[in-house]
Amino acid sequence: MARLCGVAVFCLSPLCVHAATGTFDIDRWYTILENVRTRAAENNISRETINDTLKSPAFIPSIVKSDRNQSEFRLTLDEYLARTVNSRRIKNGREMREMYPTMLSRVQQRYGVQPHVILAFWGLESNYGSYKAAHKLTDAFLTLMYDGRRETFFGNQLLALMKIADDNNLDINDIRGSWAGAMGHFQFIPTTLAQYGADGNGDGRIDIIHSVGDAMFSAGNYLNKLGWNPNERIVRRVALPADFDISLLDGKTKRPVSDWAMMGVVCDDGSALPVSDMVAGLVGDVKTIQEMRAMAVQNAISDPNAIDTDIAPQPVIYAYLTYPNFYRIKKWNSSNWYAIAIATLADELK
C-alpha cells in the first residue's frame, strides 16, 4: 500500500504510531479494504470502480479526531439565527433566485416545493455552493470504518458512493465532501442521494456536486417524498403568557392552534392567532427562558424598592408554533434550531 495516511502520516511498518489514534493496526486496515472489495463485487459494482476506490487509500487521523470531539457547545436560538440567517445569506439567496429562476420554477412544478424553500436549504447547507469540501469521500469513509464507532453505517455509505459513481459514470476519486461524508450543494450523504437523487439538467447522470440542476431536483424530490405541503406554513413566531408552562416548548406536544390560543398564545405582535384547527407544536429556547426568569427574580430580590420580593415581573416569552412542514424538515435534520432557521430564511427569500 503506497499511501495509508495521506498528508497526515505514512505507515511503513505493521505498527505505526501517531498522536490522534495510537497504534495503527495495519491488519485491521487491510481486512477493511478486503471486505469493501468483497461487498462491492457482491453488489455488482464494476471492477474499475472497485480498483479506483482501493488503489490508494488514505487514513486521515484528523477525521477520527473530528468524529470523537464533536462540540457540545450549544448556541441559544437567537445566537443560532443570527449566524444562519444573516444579511449576507439573505442577499446571496436573493441573487441566486435571480440567477436560477427557470430551474427553481421547474423544481416547483415537478415536486411542489417553492423556490424560497429550496433556496433556504441551499443557503444553510452549503451557503449556495460556496462551501468547499475538504476530503476525498472514499478516504473519509475508510477512516471512519477503521475507527469502528459506526463501522456498519460508514461501510454502507461507501458502498452507496461506489454504486453512485458506477451508475453515473463519475470519477469516485474526484468526489469530495465533509469529514462525515456529506456532499454537494445540499450536503446529501450517499444513501440519501441513492434514494432521492434526480437528474435536473437532463444529461442522464446525477451529479449533485457539479450540477446545480441535479442538486435542486434532488432536494425537491427528497422534500416531496417527505410529504412537503406547499400550502402550509412552517412556523409562526408567537408570544406566550408570562407564566406559561415551558415544558410544553419541546415541539412534542401537538394541539390544534385553537387550543393554543385558548391557553393565551398570541402572534408575536400581540394580535390574536388566526382561527384554525390545524395541529401544531410549540418550540422555544427553554434554557434561555429559565435564565431570564431566574434573573427577573434575582433583580426583584435586590431591588430595595420592591414591595414583595416573592413576586417578580416575568419576562415576555417568545416561541414558535411548529406546523407539519416543520416536522418534515426535521426528517432532513433533526435539530429544532435548524428547522426554525430554514423557516426564517425561507420567509426572507419569498
pLDDT in tens, 238-281: 999 988 999 999 999 999 999 999 999 999 999 999 988 899 99
Q: Check whether 21 has a pLDDT greater than 50.
A: no
Q: Is the pLDDT of residue 38 over 70?
A: yes
Higher-pLDDT residue of 309 and 45 is 45
Name residue 297's amino acid.
V
Residue with cell 436549504: 121
Q: What is the mean pLDDT of residues 55-63?
A: 91
Tell me: pLDDT of 110 over 70: yes
**pLDDT at residue 10 greater than cutoff 70:** no
- Measured distance CA(274)–CA(35) in Å, rounded: 58
Cβ contacts of 245-250, under 8 Å, gap ≥ 24: 246/284, 246/286, 246/289, 246/290, 246/317, 247/286, 248/282, 249/282, 249/283, 249/284, 249/286, 249/289, 249/319, 250/281, 250/283, 250/286
DSSP per-residue letters across 133-196: P-EEHHHHHHHHHHH-TTHHHHHHHHHHHHHHHHHTT--GGG-EE-TTS-BTTTTB-HHHHHHH
Residue 251's pLDDT is 95
Place of cell 442521494: 193
CA 65 to centroid of chain Cα atoms: 20
Average pLDDT over residues 189-201: 98
Pairing of strands 22-25, 255-256: unpaired
List pLDDT tens digits, range 118-177.
999 999 999 999 988 889 999 999 999 999 889 999 999 999 999 999 999 999 999 999
Per-residue pLDDT, averaged over 316-338, amounts to 96
Q: Is the pLDDT of residue 12 over 80?
A: no
Rounded distance, CA 97 to CA 79, Å?
Answer: 26
Q: Give dist(CA 161, CA 249) in Å, integer.
A: 39
For residue 145, the model assigns a pLDDT of 96
Residue 298, pLDDT above cutoff 80: no
pLDDT band at 68 (very low <50, low <70, confident <90, very high): confident
> pLDDT at position 162, please?
98
47 compared with 301, residue with greater pLDDT: 47
- Mean pLDDT over 296-325 rounds to 72
pLDDT tens track for 176-191 = 999 999 999 999 999 9
First CA to last CA distance, the chain: 53
Distance from C-alpha of 245 to C-alpha of 41, rounded to nearest angstrom: 57
Q: What is the mean pLDDT of the chain?
A: 89
Phi, psi for 213 (deg, rounded to 5) = -60, -45
